[in-house]
Amino acid sequence: MSQPAPNLFTPLTQRGVTFSNRIAVSPMCQYSSEDGMATDWHFVHLGSRAVGGAGLVIVEATAVTPEGRITPLDMGIWTDGHVAPLRRIVEFIHQNGSRAGVQLAHAGRKASTARPWEGGKKLEPSAGGWADVLAPSALPFSRDYPQPVELDKAGIRRIVQAFVDGARRALEAGFDLVEIHAAHGYLLHEFFSPLSNQRKDEYGGSFENRTRILIEVVDAVREVWPEDRPLWVRISATDWAEGGWNVDESAQLGKVLRDHEVDLIDASSGALVEHAKIPTGPGYQVEFAHRIRREAGIATGAVGMIIDPAQADTIIRSGQADVVLLAREMLRDPYWPLHAAERLGQKITWPVQYLRSAPGAVEPRVSVQVLQISQPVKA
């Protein structure tokens, strides 16, 4: 007898980890750390999404080196001192029935900038920025961003090792999943695209060369990341710009990553170049996840203006993706999974603290206001 298609609230097991549903909180930078340390803001922000019923909560882009931060207020994992506050968050997420992931990142040429609500432009060292902004080629993102220095091969080896060290610390903190950030115009994505990578050595030119650093990172991280825990990679499936990285190459990369023990591709897009024209709309990036899943035979996560529970459920039921990752909608409503279950007629348990104590207690019905977010969230 054939099994029914999974729905939004069907558990998902990858390796030795089971997620209670297919809803993940996408990594969202909060720009609220001190020396890379997680703070009470992160504890409450991330913990409330676990209370809200998400199957997976992924910590924001977490820099593997100090110069790999987007801003001086980014989360970090470059020292052992970063582990304890992250462990506190992971333990709370686990206590509330969710799994915890961390996105390991290096900002590359988009580093050393002010926070978005402070203009988002380059920060000079005198203003708290740093001089060592690194990239595959010495090409700035724009006139408002720092001039990067081209990485030499020794520098590339140091970056790979930094990802490994970050994964080791993530394991010590108790995370169930590591996601490697290779999207949104940050360092690893910069290597992919001919628009930002003009190298003539084995890290530039051909598809194999441009993706080499990511494969080196994946293989090295897998050496320290346990066999029974999933490893994900976030990519920008297209640069939305002529001559840039495209969805054909993303599908090809999916096959390679599948063979290098990556468990899921989190398929976003864009943010490599300033001039990209992106036709946004509800679910506008879902087809990227669908195509990579279909052609590469690897699990995928769908992102991008996924708002309505029926929309999210259809993505899973139709086999377009294995997981949906929500960002801004989770900011508007931390309890989106609980409300979605109610809308879809699926059983899910509210935290006992939110139930009435009288006999015959019922789950709370909360009216949700959609808030207008005035500042963009960098992912």
Q: Which two tokens stand for residue 78?
A: 């470059």
Strands, E, within 64-196: which ranges?
75-76, 99-105, 134-135, 149-150, 177-182
The b/e string for 63-90 (b: 16+ C-beta within 10 A; e otherwise) is bbbbbbbbbbbbbbbbeeebbebbbbbb
Sign for the pseudo-dihedral over CA of 306, 308, 312, 317: negative
Active site residues: 186
Is residue 178 a contact partner of residue 168, using CB atoms and an 8 Å limit? no
Which token pair is 199? 């190298």
Nearest residue to 135 via CA among 101, 168, 111, 119: 111
Nearest CA to 370 out of 324, 323, 336 is that of: 336
| 323-326/23-25 β-pairing | parallel
- Residue 377 makes CB contacts below 8 A (sequence gap 6+) with 28, 29, 116, 327, 328, 331
CA nearest neighbour of 69 among 82, 55, 56, 53: 82
Element spanning 232, H or E: strand 231-236
Residue 238 CA to residue 64 CA, distance in Å, equals: 25
Cβ distance 162 to 65 under 8 Å?
yes
Among candidates 279, 271, 239, 235, which has minimal Cα distance to 254? 235
- Taking the C-alpha atoms of residue 222 and residue 208, their distance in angstroms, rounded to an integer, is 20
Strand partners, 82: none
